[in-house]
Structure 1
Amino acid sequence: MDDRNEAELIRTLAGAADAAPEPAGDLLTMIHRRRGRRTRRRVQSALAVAGVIAVIGGGTAVARGAFSSGGGEGRILTDATVAATASAGPADAAKSRKGAIRPAAEVWPAAVTKISAKAADGWKYRPVTGLSATELLLAAESSFEKAGRLEAYDTTAGKSTVLADMPTPDGVKGYFVQDIEVGAEYIAWWGETPNNSDAWADFWAAPRAGGTAKQVGQVTGDLSKVERIGVTADSVVWSVAGGGIYRMPLTGGSPEKIEGTDGLHLLSWPWAADVAQGGEGQDWEKNQTKAVNLETGQTVEVNVPDGVRGLRCGPVWCFGKEKGQDITVVQRVDGSDRKTLPPGLSYMGGEQRILARGFGLLSVSEVVGRDAAGEDVQVPLAAVYDPTTGTMAGIGKRDRSGGGGYGIGTSSSPTSILYWDEGQRQVGECETVDAGAVPRPSGEPVPTGKIKSCTGVSKGGGKELTVVNLLAVPSTE
């Protein structure tokens, strides 16, 4: 398969994936229980370009088993938000979007840096969040999503410093670190054993300046259904599926429910909301109606406009969608400064809709086209939106196939980091198979004969990451 046909193949696959309906039920249960919430979101995005397509005859492609990409947390997520409009051809649409969204390196040059994708010992880096405008928190992994230590990377000096090892608790098999949280004095994280049926989780903390990590404690049952965590000067706090926020002293001890938190879900300590921010079974159509400061007791009521669904807010800004349409609505919590964004810019599903400092993450529904000179016109995979100024900055880089990937930092609170590997590309891998072996919707007749079955896979990369740290963006409010 030559490069041109390969590119067209992946474009077709990506377009079909974006147009396909969401799968019914829990996608992770349908595939494989691997890493709890973080991996579930990864699987949702990866399937968008990993669906099988059957190429029949002279290049006609039919999507098979492809799911829509709903966004989510990504450790280099494959993304296939591709849609052509009826009023404009792919090249025209791409050119207009390119003019509207400049790359983050052009918009916020001080916030973008390049780092090695691996530590000196070969462990892979996974960005977590910003520690400051010039420091990045990185998790180093000995194998796939197996975090083993935390490092602070100085973007000015171009070097990293080990902060703490992240040990596996004694006698626990199949243990994986989940989300990591940065506090003023400590960095905390929680872990679980997602590949078995135990309802169990534990919490760890290490000094933010560096030092030995200590297991704070363990929980079982409903208390182990952790959504998000926070860390204060003396406690680890967390919210659970179904609502309710708990704390445990850093010195160890029994968990204690924080008074008045029934039905509340942690946003970023000390703020909580009355809608779930992560986990299974949540209703993403439901609107948030308040934000609560658990330190002061202050309750901020959200002014929810008519016809808006899925409204999610931080202490200042909210993002939602117009009911029945893929139109993003942005407003302050009190309803002021309300605006709608142009079609094709949709705020992401899942937990990572709102980033640090109230920035929003938007998917960009476009294609890679060619201009009048026959050159590729690149469109970003996603965009970061500053609701205060209306500034947008492009994230990620599409390859010639229209695919690509980007990652979202793995902090528990809204992260300040997005990243991608510009050396990675999407390619089509094909093989000739029996037509009856290709997945098809229930009730369709079984085809006969031989067909070419192709999947989109990631190739290359692994040397360098481009990182955007929103803590380095000049303050606009």
Structure 2
Amino acid sequence: MSDRSEADLVRVLAGAAGNAPEPAGDLLEVVRRRRARRARRRTGAVLAAAAVIAVVAGGTAVARGVFSHRGGEGPALVDATVTASPGRPTPSPRASGPAAPLEVRPAAEVWPAAVSTIPAKAPDGWRYRPVTALSATELLLAAESSFEKAGRLEVYDTAGGSRRVLADMPGPPGAKGYFPQRVEAGAENIVWYGTNPSGGAAWADFWVVPRSGGTARRIGEVTGAPAEVDGIGVTADSVVWSVRAGGVYRMPLAGGAPERIEGADGLHLLSWPWAADVGERDFQKAQGKLVNLETGQVTEVKAAEGTTTFRCGPQWCFGEGDGTGAKAFAERVDGSRRSVLPGLSALGGRLLLARDFGMFHVSGVVGRDERGEEIEDRTAPVAALYDPAAGTLAGIGNGDGQGGGGYGWGTSSSPSAIVYWDADVKNVERCRTADGKAVPRPSGTAGRTDESVICEAIPQGGGKELTVVNLLAVPKTE
């Protein structure tokens, strides 16, 4: 298993996600990762893929040590020269030998004004789920009465340490099993949608509240194909949303019939007015275009041959693998200003954050010893944020010194402006012996009949404070 690639992991994740039920509320739990490399080598039978699949049903997993990441292995590209000619620029000659992983300093050192701590719970005990940032000091939070059951929206001011209730998040009268889903903040209003009051056919309703706060108002509801919502946005007069099969709809904020937006077939909302030809479930599909639904502008984007993951925002694209052995990379939507980021990788396809920041997994592998065993820096951060305009990296997550840790990102529909983690959570490794035949495996994987030692990292502690990085507080460089 140690020779499996990250592409293998993504394929396993994609297959599992396609068959897994939607998590209640479709909200992201803090991402966990496991360190199983050493245990796997001792027993030869730790099935990391099965462990990852078990996590997928409840959210998104980022695993360090599940498969070999080989941080920095392979040649690196020198940044391409920016040219005014159309098409992609010609890369500079490759450097010989493997590229050393980049140094990733903690976000609190790189962007001190953007990092703060907030309470993990409201005064009444409801748990906070970060959504996004409204300004350099204001964070939009969903308060949950139970797991992923959002009951109200609050705004937390990191400058003064104060909180205010923006609005309650009610459901339709008499609805059972109703869950508010993703929230999106616009210039004047905040909208969200809810699903499944009856647990039957596809159904969704939409709500709006002024950004300044007040009483939430129900806009309307939809059934069938328009109710398979995968992204939501808001304009001055309408709620807009895309669906899993592709296509974008709108409904007036005052209420009325839904209308399919012309020219948006096959598109998924990124952040209004931008839409892409890939959705969150398109793990293995490279993005091919970006469309401005207000102006009709279509921007073609093209991943280099061999790229395994490729996602673009309005200005920048991020990806992994380009046939040269490079890991993560960033480039302009026209292919210029390419930067290769050794030691970083993309797992699960979640690369874009607000302001065209990129988010990558940090392998922590810095080389191999004389036996060929990977040497891992256990002090490395869990993940890294990349500001491509400034060329700046910042580490995030609560690395526990044992090769484990976790982080989460805001649950807004558009790429969120915040990432967060609970610095007091620690991983405690627990191992058990199991019959090899009883351990679940991906379809087509050969079984084992001997005993297997299965180790997993159990998070313990925390629950008092969250460390938050607010990208709206990061100084702009262009």
Match of 2:356 in 1: 358
Instruction: Report the alpha carbon displacement of residue 446 of structure 1 after superposing the two structures with TM.
Output: 2.8
Distance 1:322 1:434, change over 3 A: closer
Match of 1:446 in 2: 449
In the alignment, the residues of structure 2 paired with residue 137 and residue 302 of structure 1 have an alpha-carbon distance, to the nearest angstrom, of: 32
Match of 1:301 in 2: 300
RMSD: 3.6
In the alignment, the residues of structure 2 paired with residue 24 and residue 78 of structure 1 have an alpha-carbon distance, to the nearest angstrom, of: 9
In the alignment, the residues of structure 1 paired with residue 169 and residue 474 of structure 2 have an alpha-carbon distance, to the nearest angstrom, of: 30
The answer to whether 1:203 aligns with 2:202 is: no
Instruction: Report the alpha carbon displacement of residue 354 of structure 1 after superposing the two structures with TM.
Output: 1.0
In the alignment, the residues of structure 2 paired with residue 106 and residue 246 of structure 1 have an alpha-carbon distance, to the nearest angstrom, of: 43
Instruction: Report the alpha carbon displacement of residue 447 of structure 1 after superposing the two structures with TM.
Output: 3.1
Match of 2:78 in 1: none
Distance 1:433 1:240, change over 3 A: closer
> Residue 276 of structure 1: which of 272, 275, 278 is its match?
278
> Residue 49 of structure 2: which of 60, 66, 69 is its match?
66
Match of 2:337 in 1: 337
Match of 1:313 in 2: 312
In the alignment, the residues of structure 2 paired with residue 130 and residue 87 of structure 1 have an alpha-carbon distance, to the nearest angstrom, of: 33
Match of 2:16 in 1: 27
Identity of aligned residues (%): 53
Check whether the contact 1:287–1:309 (CA below 8 A) recurs between aligned residues. no
What one-letter code is carried by the residue in structure 1 that aligns with 2:361? S
Q: Secondary structure at the match of 1:23?
A: helix
What one-letter code is carried by the residue in structure 2 that aligns with 1:23? V
The answer to whether 1:255 aligns with 2:258 is: yes
Match of 1:231 in 2: 234
- Normalized against structure 1, the TM-score is what? 0.81
In the alignment, the residues of structure 1 paired with residue 71 and residue 56 of structure 2 have an alpha-carbon distance, to the nearest angstrom, of: 31
Match of 1:397 in 2: 398
In the alignment, the residues of structure 2 paired with residue 464 and residue 126 of structure 1 have an alpha-carbon distance, to the nearest angstrom, of: 12
The answer to whether 1:126 aligns with 2:129 is: yes
Instruction: Report the alpha carbon displacement of residue 363 of structure 1 after superposing the two structures with TM.
Output: 0.8
Check whether the contact 1:104–1:393 (CA below 8 A) recurs between aligned residues. yes
What one-letter code is carried by the residue in structure 2 that aligns with 1:35? A
Distance 1:430 1:238, change over 3 A: same
In the alignment, the residues of structure 1 paired with residue 4 and residue 409 of structure 2 have an alpha-carbon distance, to the nearest angstrom, of: 24
The answer to whether 1:142 aligns with 2:145 is: yes
Distance 1:135 1:221, change over 3 A: same
Distance 1:462 1:73, change over 3 A: farther
In the alignment, the residues of structure 2 paired with residue 306 and residue 453 of structure 1 have an alpha-carbon distance, to the nearest angstrom, of: 38
Instruction: Report the alpha carbon displacement of residue 54 of structure 1 after superposing the two structures with TM.
Output: 8.4
Distance 1:63 1:19, change over 3 A: farther
Distance 1:418 1:407, change over 3 A: same
- Normalized against structure 2, the TM-score is what? 0.81
Instruction: Report the alpha carbon displacement of residue 338 of structure 1 after superposing the two structures with TM.
Output: 1.9
> Residue 120 of structure 2: which of 117, 120, 133 is its match?
117
Match of 1:387 in 2: 388
Q: Which moved more, 1:436-445 or 1:357-366?
A: 436-445
Q: Secondary structure at the match of 2:12?
A: coil
Check whether the contact 2:46–2:454 (CA below 8 A) recurs between aligned residues. no
Distance 1:155 1:80, change over 3 A: same
Instruction: Report the alpha carbon displacement of residue 232 of structure 1 after superposing the two structures with TM.
Output: 1.3
Q: Which moved more, 1:24-33 or 1:170-179?
A: 24-33
Which residues in structure 2 correspond to 1:80-99 (within 5 Å)? 80-82=63-65, 83=68, 85=70
In the alignment, the residues of structure 2 paired with residue 309 and residue 435 of structure 1 have an alpha-carbon distance, to the nearest angstrom, of: 32
Check whether the contact 1:84–1:367 (CA below 8 A) recurs between aligned residues. yes
What one-letter code is carried by the residue in structure 2 that aligns with 1:359? F
Distance 1:50 1:106, change over 3 A: closer
Q: Secondary structure at the match of 1:27?
A: helix
Cα deviation code 1:281-304 (max 9, x no counterpart): x36333323x22222233333355
What one-letter code is carried by the residue in structure 2 that aligns with 1:200? W
Match of 1:105 in 2: 108
Distance 1:389 1:123, change over 3 A: same
What one-letter code is carried by the residue in structure 2 that aligns with 1:277? G
Check whether the contact 1:368–1:401 (CA below 8 A) recurs between aligned residues. no
Check whether the contact 1:52–1:454 (CA below 8 A) recurs between aligned residues. no
Instruction: Report the alpha carbon displacement of residue 410 of structure 1 after superposing the two structures with TM.
Output: 0.3
In the alignment, the residues of structure 2 paired with residue 148 and residue 15 of structure 1 have an alpha-carbon distance, to the nearest angstrom, of: 46
Instruction: Report the alpha carbon displacement of residue 31 of structure 1 after superposing the two structures with TM.
Output: 5.1
Q: Secondary structure at the match of 1:63?
A: coil
Q: Secondary structure at the match of 2:171?
A: coil
Match of 1:327 in 2: 327
Q: Secondary structure at the match of 1:180?
A: strand
Segments of 5+ residues of structure 1 without an aligned counterpart are 1-12, 89-95, 370-375
Instruction: Report the alpha carbon displacement of residue 347 of structure 1 after superposing the two structures with TM.
Output: 3.5
Instruction: Report the alpha carbon displacement of residue 311 of structure 1 after superposing the two structures with TM.
Output: 2.9
In the alignment, the residues of structure 2 paired with residue 439 and residue 258 of structure 1 have an alpha-carbon distance, to the nearest angstrom, of: 44
Distance 1:52 1:165, change over 3 A: farther
